[in-house]
Amino acid sequence: MAPNLTIYNKLIADFTPNTAKYVFKGIAEFAVHPPTVVTGDTYESGVGVPEAYRQQGSLFPELDGVHINIFNISKINSEVRGGKSPRIKRLSEYIGESYFDYLAGLPDLVLLMDESHRYRACAGVRAINELKPI
């Protein structure tokens, strides 16, 4: 979880293979099968949802293993014009529920917060608690 766009972009680079500050250098399993990085810009494609959740005819049958979701807190707790809920909380055709609900339902969701002292605002804390991380 990132508190702003600067750190959000930094985290994406840090978890992208073959970048200068890649955090998984030296982990053999990830050299062969790198984790799938899902961002606030790519989750709607269904890239972060394992095959069992997707409808038949998936375009991404190769997905398995570790998924790293990188989001900016504002993408989760922001209100959209017209009173609609944020996109991540809207129904996804790929999985039959919102991506937010999918994440909140994972039994092994771990949440890492870069610059965690910046999440003390009520909306940010509420969004994090709604995800129910272990």
Element (H, E) at 36: strand 36-39
Q: Consecutive sets of 10 residues in the chain, 134 residues long: mean pLDDT of each?
A: 89 92 91 88 82 49 72 75 78 85 90 71 75 88
The token pair that represents 33 in the structure block: 């099968």
pTM for the predicted model, two decimal places = 0.80
* pLDDT of 58: 44
Contacts of 90 (CB under 8 A, 6+ apart): 84, 98
* pLDDT of 65: 76
